[in-house]
Structure 1
Amino acid sequence: MITLYGINNCDTVKKARRWLEENGIDYRFHDFRVDGLTANQVTDWSQQLGWETLVNKRSTTWKQLDETERATMDANSSINAMVEHPTLIKRPVLDNNGELLVGFKPETYQDHFSS
């Protein structure tokens, strides 16, 4: 099962959803804000991808964190921060039966789904 994680009003998520639909790929959408995230989900993603890949340091949420929290963030503290503030996570996260992609580029999705 393919699941696309993100937030509904994110432009990049909208582009990814449009690409999946235009290419006839069935997926389930999971909205971080509405459906939530568990520490286990975020921990699994972090172990597979690295927390630095998941945390969007250009996000408004990142900039609103306390300076000390940003400076001392590590693998453990990032899990709690992402669960507490899901908009810290780069979007979208595509889970294709355990294989993860972060962000959206049409060519990356094309390569992923053509292999």
Structure 2
Amino acid sequence: MSVKIYGIKNCNTMKKTFTLYDNLGKEYEFIDYKKQQPDTKLLESFIEVLGLDTVVNRKGTTFRKLEDDTKAKLERKETAIPVLQEKSSMIKRPILVFDDGSMQAGFDEELIREKA
């Protein structure tokens, strides 16, 4: 089994992640949010393991453009999941799901090398 990498193909952080895996000669499965919308179960698993604050990317352009009432929905899992499904570019990238079931949000070269 190989690591699963969730995100958006055009993101620079994603490109760094792909390059590292390629350089290490390690296989990975890429799941593109733009081609395969994240379902409720997947987002719930991300939030359960990583926490809502980690999963929601509050630093990106998409978040900054949101109306205040939509931003408020991102404070609770139940209301955040539909927003994240609709605007998947607001999910922290990449999210990696390793063979052992552990997860990492964001690019962490040391952890990737350790788990690869």
**Normalization by structure 1: what TM-score?**
0.90
Alignment partner of 1:101: what SS?
strand
Structure 2: which 5+ residue stretches go unaligned? none
Quote the residue 1:63 is aligned against. Answer: 64
Structure 1: which 5+ residue stretches go unaligned? none
Contact 2:4 2:98 in 1 (8 A): yes
Q: CA deviation at 1:57?
A: 0.4
Q: Between the two proteins, what is the percent identity of the paired residues?
A: 29
| Letter paired with 1:99 | S
**Residues 28-55 of structure 1: CA deviation (Å, up to 9, x unaligned):** 1111001221111001111111111000
Number of residue pairs matched by the alignment = 113
Residues 1-115 of structure 1: matches in 2 within 5 Å? 1=1, 2-72=3-73, 73-97=75-99, 98-113=101-116
Alignment partner of 1:19: what SS?
helix
C-alpha distance in 2, partners of 1:37/1:78? 13
Q: CA deviation at 1:5?
A: 0.7
Contact 2:14 2:93 in 1 (8 A): yes
Structure with the largest fraction of helix: 1
C-alpha distance in 1, partners of 2:84/2:72? 15
Q: Which runs of 4+ in 1 moved over 4 A?
A: none
Query: Which deviates the most, 87-96 or 102-111?
Result: 102-111
Instruction: Please tell me the root mean square deviation across aligned C-alpha atoms, in Å.
Output: 1.3
